[in-house]
A and B are shown apart, each in its own frame.
Chain A
Amino acid sequence: MNRILQIDWYSIQYTVDEFSRTLYSFPVHIRFLIGVTVLFLIFIFILLNVILGSRIYKTKLLGKRKKLRERYKPLLTQLLFEDDSLLLDPALENKFDAEDLSKKYHRSIISDEIIHLHENFTGETASRLELLFVKLGLHHDSLEKTKNKRWYIAAKGMRELALMNVKESVVHLAEFLNHKNDILRMEARISIMKLSADEPLSFLSRIKEPLSSWDQANIYGMLNKMPEQMIPDFSTWLNSPNKSVVQFCILMIGAFRQQDSKGVLIHMLDHEDEKVRMAVIKALRELNAYASEEKLINMYPLETEDIQYEIVKTLEAVGKEHSAGLMEKILKQPVKNYSISIQAVKTFLATAESGKQRLDHLLESSNPQLQLIVQHAQDKRL
């Protein structure tokens, strides 16, 4: 044994010596290049090993994941729709293997499946899933995730708690409201919104940074998962110094059809910010705010084309004869913006008394351009 080692050593020593002798016979810059090459080769070797290792690990994990999911699927179905007794503790634990609930990886798969199902269902089924989540102790895992140093894992934990309605976690999540990571901060706000019993959107009063459309879609997505009586009156924040909050609230007033805010919105048509005015005009359309007609007609000439288009479109929903007059005026002028003209025809037909005849009359004295626009406007597919 010892001897073999010695012999090995010797030959290695010899090779190394031989190698360095040859190496040193080269000029310095070539030696440098060889050094770099060796470095590259070492890196290649390391990378190859990482690739293979990762490949073996992932293949194994994927197989395991698939197997476990296959096993849990029928189990969950049964628990959801079978008798209530199954959700009672002793019966519940017997359904799962000891391994299922003791191993973190197994639990994480059960948790993912439950949350995924929960996203699709409401009513009793959803409540059962929430109950099941807590009974299996999966919320402990979610809470632990929120304590993870890696922010994206914390964010995932928060989402899980919010989606599964683990109300008691709200106290814990509050500390993230001042976290330095802005995505995590936003996630915390949204999660707390879902879980808190009173004033779920109070963060809107405090938030300084602008809400992007993405944030807004996320907040709306979560609002959609909340019971209707929890949706607040969004007019509360219409005076916020944060313009994006104002815009968001206007959007929500429209989306949740908060009719009581119509009056306030009509006042806001005077707002100095173009984006806010745009949002207001769209919301008034959703609310069918007939009372806004006069104001919209009056502001039309002074607005940008983008807003003019929205005005004409809203008038289709809220306008009467008066709007028809404006449309007629628009259509008589030479076409400057196709979208506005096309929408003007639609609005004209919706608001004018015997609009069809009047439109035909208008067409008699017009150019082919307008005729095409009128045809376009009347084709429902376009």
Chain B
Amino acid sequence: MGLFFYYFTKFADHFILIYSAMLFGTYLILSAYSALDIINYMRRNSFIDYRDLLTSPSTPPISIIAPAFNESKTIVENARSLLNIHYVNFEVIIVNDGSKDNTLQLMIDAYDLEAAPVAFESKLHCKEIRAVYKSRIPSMSRLTVVDKVNGGKADALNAGINVSKYGIFAAIDVDCILEYESLLKMVKPFMEEVGEEKVIAVGGVVRIANSCEVKDGKIVKVNLPKALIPRIQVLEYIRAFLLGRMAWSRLNGLILISGAFGMFDKKIAIASGGYNHETVGEDMELVIRMRRLMEESKIKYKVVYLPDPLCWTEAPDSLKILGKQRNRWTRGTAETLWIHKKLLFNPKYKFLGMVSMPFWFLFEWLAPIVETTAFLYLVMMAFLGILNVELFITLFILIYSFAILYSTAAILFEELSFHQYKKKRDIFRLLGTAFIEPLLIHPLTVYYAIRGNLDLLTGVKNWGEMKRRGFAPQVKKD
């Protein structure tokens, strides 16, 4: 027993060290790659004129699909702001996912809507569509409102895809604020497609709108959030988007396009079955399924990410909501990885199977679990009085300084590239946040992730803020 315990502690010490080293190494490589890609992106777009797209006959039309559930506070303004986007040929489809409040009525009143005889093919499964509305106002001809029985976000998006007219669709959260030129920028990768390589999806960076000055559904002035919780998320988002996803995009290994704003090739999205009702991580799940389809049918393809800040969203400002959100994200990741477990370490799926999926498995899903286990292990050792205090302290300081280094690098990228926070004070506060985040919020996010996994095991399924969904019984997955 003593010998076993000895080897066990040896193994645990080494495992912690090796895992951390791998994590650091991967993150550093990814940041370097991201830096290269951001520089490349900025150079490529430094001299071009997006306005040429407004006149060109080769610019593809786009359907914007925005599911709405109990959005009565902002829906009218948000719909208008979407209709105001700078683009030539597009439609805006708001899908009222059986809201319990007056979301639909507000839109009917504001935009003088009437039920229209819309004939469409139900290529994707979705709950019953009660009616499709169009405006009597001629200048609102681009607006379509779909009223359907509640079925969750994935279901609403599928309904929107069914009704949509055009070959490229943009899925967005209705409360997101899009920059005017966001569609012009997002469509560029689709238009740059040459030869055999198909562009199947394009993702955009999501930024946090808390404390920003917003006038009539448009960001007028960008401010760093005053409250700590959203400010920490600014840091998290900059890190995830500027240091993480850009690298994956360059490596063509991106498997997550945020549900807040992404553009997809409709034919391929439909061919792969549309959004999955069975997971709360429907955004990631769709990208993986589309990629899987392309791999299996042996078509060259690309998933692109743009570092431009094109989409702004309100982040949770209380721990309670943040907890629910992170809980959901964890469940989404876990469910998605489970659904596509066949791809994991499967050489048939090349980079997707050998690198992207394993990364998400090892460093996104497993990281909080390893962290918690390591913590519990250390507590146990301390309890037994055999904790290697020197090692513990040095390791702790090392990890802490790495976290700060990583955040600082992210802030530097932001400063050199898109430079959204213009006030001098903001940059100091952001740097300050980098110092407290690992100590204050990070343990909580780890806790939320663990809770998410536990909830998943015990069968809790809800969407956090969209929890009052459907009366239909949820299908249990065994």
Q: Do A and B bind each other?
A: yes
Q: How far is the CA of A30 from the CA of B119 in the complex (A)?
A: 70
Tell me whether A220 and B55 are in contact in the complex, defined as CB-CB below 8 angstroms, given that A30-B394, A37-B401 are known contacts. yes
Q: How far is the CA of A304 from the CA of B117 in the complex (A)?
A: 27
Of the listed stretches A52-60, A172-180, A349-357, chain B binds: A52-60
Of the listed stretches A2-10, A74-82, A368-376, chain B binds: A368-376
| A309 CB → nearest B CB, Å | 11
| B384 interfacial by beta-carbon distance below 8 Å | no
Q: How far is the CA of A34 from the CA of B192 in the complex (A)?
A: 48
| B297 interfacial by beta-carbon distance below 8 Å | no
Q: Please state if B56 and A217 are interface contacts (CB–CB under 8 Å).
A: yes
| B199 CB → nearest A CB, Å | 10
Q: Please state if A30 and B118 are interface contacts (CB–CB under 8 Å).
A: no
Collect the chain A residues with CB atoms within 8 Å of residue B193's CB.
212-213
Could you mark each residue 38-67 of chain B with 1 if its beta carbon is under 8 Å from any beta carbon of chain A, else 0? 000001101111011101111110000000
| B120 interfacial by beta-carbon distance below 8 Å | yes
| B178 CB → nearest A CB, Å | 21
| B348 interfacial by beta-carbon distance below 8 Å | no
**Within the complex, which residue of A29, A41, A119 is in contact with B401, where a contact is CB–CB below 8 Å?**
A41
Q: How far is the CA of A341 from the CA of B120 in the complex (A)?
A: 10
Q: Please state if B43 and A152 are interface contacts (CB–CB under 8 Å).
A: yes
Q: Please state if B117 and A375 are interface contacts (CB–CB under 8 Å).
A: yes
Collect the chain A residues with CB atoms within 8 Å of residue B58's CB.
213, 216-217, 220, 251
Of the listed stretches A12-20, A42-50, A94-102, chain B binds: A42-50
| B300 interfacial by beta-carbon distance below 8 Å | no
**Within the complex, which residue of A30, A55, A221 is in contact with B391, where a contact is CB–CB below 8 Å?**
A30
Q: Please state if A119 and B57 are interface contacts (CB–CB under 8 Å).
A: no
Q: Please state if B427 and A51 are interface contacts (CB–CB under 8 Å).
A: yes
| A156 interfacial by beta-carbon distance below 8 Å | yes
Of the listed stretches B206-214, B225-233, B327-335, B404-412, chain A binds: B404-412
Q: How far is the CA of A373 from the CA of B409 in the complex (A)?
A: 57
Which interface residue of A26, A40, A373 has the most chain B CB atoms within 10 A? Answer: A40
Collect the chain B residues with CB atoms within 8 Å of residue A125's CB.
none
Tell me whether A37 and B116 are in contact in the complex, defined as CB-CB below 8 angstroms, given that A217-B52, A251-B57 are known contacts. no
Q: How far is the CA of A58 from the CA of B401 in the complex (A)?
A: 28
| Closest A residue by C-beta to B117 | A375
Q: How far is the CA of A23 from the CA of B303 in the complex (A)?
A: 49
| A36 interfacial by beta-carbon distance below 8 Å | yes
| B216 interfacial by beta-carbon distance below 8 Å | no
Q: Please state if A47 and B409 are interface contacts (CB–CB under 8 Å).
A: yes
Q: Please state if B121 and A338 are interface contacts (CB–CB under 8 Å).
A: yes
Q: Please state if B408 and A47 are interface contacts (CB–CB under 8 Å).
A: yes
| Closest B residue by C-beta to A187 | B47
Q: Please state if A55 and B415 are interface contacts (CB–CB under 8 Å).
A: yes
Tell me whether A217 and B119 are in contact in the complex, defined as CB-CB below 8 angstroms, given that A48-B408, A58-B419 are known contacts. no
Q: Please state if B44 and A183 are interface contacts (CB–CB under 8 Å).
A: yes
Q: Please state if B52 and A220 are interface contacts (CB–CB under 8 Å).
A: yes
Q: How far is the CA of A249 from the CA of B446 in the complex (A)?
A: 57
| B229 CB → nearest A CB, Å | 23
| A255 interfacial by beta-carbon distance below 8 Å | yes
**Within the complex, which residue of A50, A119, A220 is in contact with B412, where a contact is CB–CB below 8 Å?**
A50
Tell me whether A34 and B119 are in contact in the complex, defined as CB-CB below 8 angstroms, given that A47-B409, A217-B191 are known contacts. no
| A224 interfacial by beta-carbon distance below 8 Å | yes
| A244 CB → nearest B CB, Å | 8
Could you mark each residue 106-142 of chain A with 1 if its beta carbon is under 8 Å from any beta carbon of chain B, else 0? 0000000000000100000000000000000000000
Q: Please state if A372 and B117 are interface contacts (CB–CB under 8 Å).
A: yes
| B390 interfacial by beta-carbon distance below 8 Å | yes
Q: How far is the CA of A220 from the CA of B59 in the complex (A)?
A: 11
| A269 interfacial by beta-carbon distance below 8 Å | no
Q: How far is the CA of A338 from the CA of B415 in the complex (A)?
A: 50
| B221 CB → nearest A CB, Å | 14
| B402 interfacial by beta-carbon distance below 8 Å | yes
Tell me whether A51 and B415 are in contact in the complex, defined as CB-CB below 8 angstroms, given that A33-B394, A212-B194, A213-B60 are known contacts. yes
Collect the chain A residues with CB atoms within 8 Å of residue B419's CB.
58
Could you mark each residue 396-436 of chain B with 1 if its beta carbon is under 8 Å from any beta carbon of chain A, else 0? 01100110110011011001100100101001000100000
Q: Please state if B134 and A381 are interface contacts (CB–CB under 8 Å).
A: yes
Q: How far is the CA of A382 from the CA of B117 in the complex (A)?
A: 9
Q: How far is the CA of A62 from the CA of B423 in the complex (A)?
A: 12
| A342 interfacial by beta-carbon distance below 8 Å | yes
Q: How far is the CA of A152 from the CA of B44 in the complex (A)?
A: 7
| A236 interfacial by beta-carbon distance below 8 Å | no
| A253 CB → nearest B CB, Å | 11
Q: How far is the CA of A25 from the CA of B20 in the complex (A)?
A: 24
Q: Please state if B405 and A44 are interface contacts (CB–CB under 8 Å).
A: yes
| Closest B residue by C-beta to A254 | B57
| A379 interfacial by beta-carbon distance below 8 Å | yes
| Closest B residue by C-beta to A160 | B47
Which interface residue of A55, A62, A369 has the most chain B CB atoms within 10 A? Answer: A55
Q: Please state if A51 and B405 are interface contacts (CB–CB under 8 Å).
A: no
| A68 CB → nearest B CB, Å | 18
**Within the complex, which residue of A37, A48, A55, A151 is in contact with B397, where a contact is CB–CB below 8 Å?**
A37
Q: Please state if A33 and B52 are interface contacts (CB–CB under 8 Å).
A: no
Q: How far is the CA of A254 from the CA of B408 in the complex (A)?
A: 53
Collect the chain B residues with CB atoms within 8 Å of residue A43's CB.
405
| B138 CB → nearest A CB, Å | 8
Could you mark each residue 136-177 of chain A with 1 if its beta carbon is under 8 Å from any beta carbon of chain B, else 0? 000000000000001110011001000000000000000000
Q: How far is the CA of A34 from the CA of B56 in the complex (A)?
A: 59
Binding site for A on B (CB under 8 A): 17, 43-44, 46-49, 51-53, 55-60, 116-121, 134-135, 141, 188, 190-195, 390-391, 394-395, 397-398, 401-402, 404-405, 408-409, 411-412, 415-416, 419, 422, 424, 427, 431
Interchain residue pairs A-B with the least CB separation, the first 4: A221-B52, A375-B117, A217-B56, A156-B47
The contact sample of 5 A-B pairs, CB cut-off 8 A, is: A33-B394, A34-B394, A216-B58, A221-B56, A381-B116
